[in-house]
């Protein structure tokens, strides 16, 4: 007696699954090319971002120096006397300093010196003075 159950035949029995070695090598080459382009660009973007934080901070310090001078007729020699502290991101990547010129005329220069990984930044030392003159070692840094 014959059974009424259906039997399915797998027609793909001889088919192979997976990737060939050549396909894997091509994909790895594409990923390597993308990484070679993307990683340096991202690193530069991160440095620019940290530089912008430092520039903003030393501009704020320069502004507070002007107010300090109006109140006390002299410039502060420390950032702490201006009641401002750098953010953790700025403090980890830059050393902030103030140089005061007794005058006449009296003046100051606020500097942000890159440290650690930020030391390889193309702009290097950032400065702002009492006349709001901004300088950096590299070009197009401000």
Find, among 53, 56, 57, 79, the residue nearest to 68 by Cα. 79
Taking residue 94's Cβ as centre, other Cβ atoms within 10 Å add up to: 27
Per-residue pLDDT in tens (0 to 9) along the chain, 142 residues: 555 666 655 555 556 678 899 999 999 999 999 999 988 889 889 999 999 999 999 999 999 999 999 999 999 999 999 999 999 999 999 999 999 998 788 999 999 999 998 998 889 899 999 999 999 987 788 8
User: How much is the pLDDT for 12?
Assistant: 59
User: How much is the pLDDT for 138?
Assistant: 79
User: How much is the pLDDT for 40?
Assistant: 85
Tokens found for residue 59: 């501009």
User: 84 preceded by cis ω (within 30°)?
Assistant: no
Tokens found for residue 132: 């709001």
Q: Per-domain residue ranges for the chain? A: 21-136
Q: Residue 48 phi/psi, 5° resolution?
A: -60, -40
Q: In what order do the strands lie in the sheet with 134-136?
A: 94-101, 107-114, 126-129, 134-136
User: How much is the pLDDT for 15?
Assistant: 62
Task: Identify the burial level of 93 via C-beta atoms within 10 angstroms of its C-beta, where 0-12 means exposed, 13-18 middle and 19 or more buried.
Answer: buried
Taking residue 38's Cβ as centre, other Cβ atoms within 10 Å add up to: 10
Separation between Cα atoms, residue 81 and residue 33, nearest integer Å = 51
């Amino acid at each position: 007696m014959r059974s009424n159950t259906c039997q399915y035949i797998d027609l793909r029995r001889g088919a192979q699954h997976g990737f060939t070695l050549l396909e894997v090598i091509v994909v790895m080459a594409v990923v390597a090319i993308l990484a070679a382009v993307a990683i340096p660009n991202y690193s530069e973007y991160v440095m620019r971002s940290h530089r912008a934080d430092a520039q903003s901070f030393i501009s704020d310090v320069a502004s507070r120096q002007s107010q300090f001078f109006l109140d006390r007729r002299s410039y502060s020699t420390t950032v702490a006397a201006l009641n401002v502290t750098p953010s953790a991101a700025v403090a980890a990547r830059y050393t902030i300093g103030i140089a005061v010129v007794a005058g006449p005329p009296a003046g100051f220069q606020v500097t942000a010196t890159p440290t650690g990984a930020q030391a390889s930044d193309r702009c290097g030392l950032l400065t702002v003075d009492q006349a709001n003159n901004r300088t950096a070692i590299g070009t197009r840094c401000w």
